[in-house]
Structure 1
């Protein structure tokens, strides 16, 4: 479908083109991680003031999972416990960490007036699928089991993330519904990856081949999955789950100039068909990754405010 970038998004895309930054698929994962972190410095907005930000180590069968707890100045409490968003960062399961999404987590904590716990799951190719899934599920379980000591209301626990993190949040929600985890009150899926078939039209449209291109998605996939068979596993492709019935309410965000646009739109539609309460927000003039670029793209700040309002209305 025709895509026209918003003027500010077009300017940012042009700046990235002129910067001479090499495409991720031409460098090593370690080099890609460094490039990604450098980009955050340029694009992240000023963080809001919070009450506290502190490290957390979450035990799991595979070892300690680093995490970070964000507590805003204004915190919604009931019986001294607050709602909580467990957040999984994006980065194709290969790049990204607690620092790359630090400002995003601060903004969501501030906008939603809730505790945000960011989870630093294991990355590929050092740790192939399903290591990231296992960490995401284990961390969510542990947070729910230790909710009271964390100041969290376990009945108001949501999961969320962007891109690969949105994929993990969707998978955690399905896993929890199927009895492998705590009750999840809601899911925030920011331009999520939902289907490794990668055959939706948006994967082949030139208008979507911007910062995240189809070839970059393939590079991430090849580092993350063990083989082609993994693509059909619902833990990699949540759209392949037998049913989406019984999943928690969802906020699904998609961007027009994004290879993942169609699979995100389709997943939102299938959730609705399954009877799930869905808020589906589209940003037609933005590209994949815009949500973290609030210094340059005002629509990113609009999206953060809207997600915060949705979280407040949810619990």
Structure 2
């Protein structure tokens, strides 16, 4: 897979703006420090970008927002529904369940809120934005189990979400949220609950699909980006290895290292990868494995930019493309359901 190495060549616009930041503190005893850093370097620029564009956001009359409590094992989590409005009170829309990024220990439903409102209105799609519980207060796989419960809740409450699953039922997420999303669609295949409520597609932004300690020898020639991009800005190889260890997930657990799971019967995939991301080749390999099982796939690449770059620099050309590609990818999934 050396043909992908050119995707690591830094994007000039990103390079001109990038300012080195303090190393990621990977110590659960200092979780508040970790979260403050994530907010400062990732969420804050992203929120500022959307706040400055509030006048350009869809009018509030075009959508409805309501927070819900979703029961989960040991408690309840919050999930925010964003539903298009329509002149016909009986109108229904496809449904997308969204899982935010943040390394299983950062983030919330507010970080993507404004962006998801624009997606909701532009695509005419109902969205449930899930606030799963985080590490270390809730050890993994709490995030996965919470999110799985939220997907089931969404399917059971399609009526109050203004949704019709027959028009499309997509599970989507970014980074660690994408890791959870892909685990959900694999788990759902053997769950009788989903027999009559089929997930029709999944959309993954910059997914983590394999614990670095679990790379099988036969795939190592195809998983070169972890070394090629080991010193990438922001999220490098060391950070990924550290985050995976903090989850305490078994490296070969197919719920975490989803590349190791069987892939028969997986719904269509829309995939986004970044060329300067250590995780880049995991995405390409996952797409290849699905294609071998005759699953429909579509993918887009933002070359020369690192993992989660769209949060810290949402206004550069590659970030605008990243946003546009996602919207077009969701449209493609709706046109090509399982």
- The TM-score, its normalising length taken from structure 1, stands at 0.89
Mark the runs of 5 or more structure 2 residues left unpaired by the alignment. 216-222
- Matches for 1:1-315 after TM superposition, within 5 Å: 1-2=5-6, 3-12=8-17, 14-15=18-19, 17=20, 20-25=21-26, 28-39=30-41, 40-44=43-47, 45-46=49-50, 48-49=57-58, 50=60, 51-72=63-84, 80-155=91-166, 156-179=168-191, 181-182=193-194, 183-197=198-212, 199=215, 200-206=223-229, 209-226=232-249, 230-241=250-261, 243-293=262-312, 295-315=314-334
State whether residues 239 and 267 of structure 1, in contact with CA within 8 Å, keep that contact through their aligned partners in structure 2. yes
Q: Give CA-to-partner distance per residue, 1:214-251, whole Å, 9 cap, x none.
A: 1111221122125xxx121111111111x212111110
| CA 178–25 in structure 1, closer or farther in 2 if over 3 Å, else same | same
Q: 1:129 to 1:181 in 2, by over 3 A?
A: farther
Q: 1:274 & 1:77 partners in 2: Cα distance?
A: 41
- Consecutive unaligned residues of structure 1, counting only runs of 5 or more, are none
- Whole-angstrom CA distance in 1 between matches of 2:328 and 2:14: 24
Please, which moves more after superposition, 294-303 or 91-100? 294-303
The 8 Å contact of residues 103 and 243 in structure 2, kept in 1 or not, is answered as yes
Name the CA distance, whole Å, in 1 between partners of 2:231 and 2:288.
Answer: 21
Q: CA RMSD in A?
A: 2.4
Q: Note if contact 1:173-1:184 (Cα within 8 Å) is conserved in structure 2.
A: yes
Query: Max radius of gyration: which structure?
Result: 2
Report how many residues are paired: 306
> What secondary structure sits across from 1:135 in the alignment?
helix
In structure 2, C-alpha distance between the alignment counterparts of 1:208 and 1:193, rounded to whole Å: 17
- C-alpha distance in structure 2 between counterparts of 1:268 and 1:255, whole Å: 14
Which deviates the most, 263-272 or 148-157?
148-157
Deviation at 1:117, TM superposition (A): 1.0
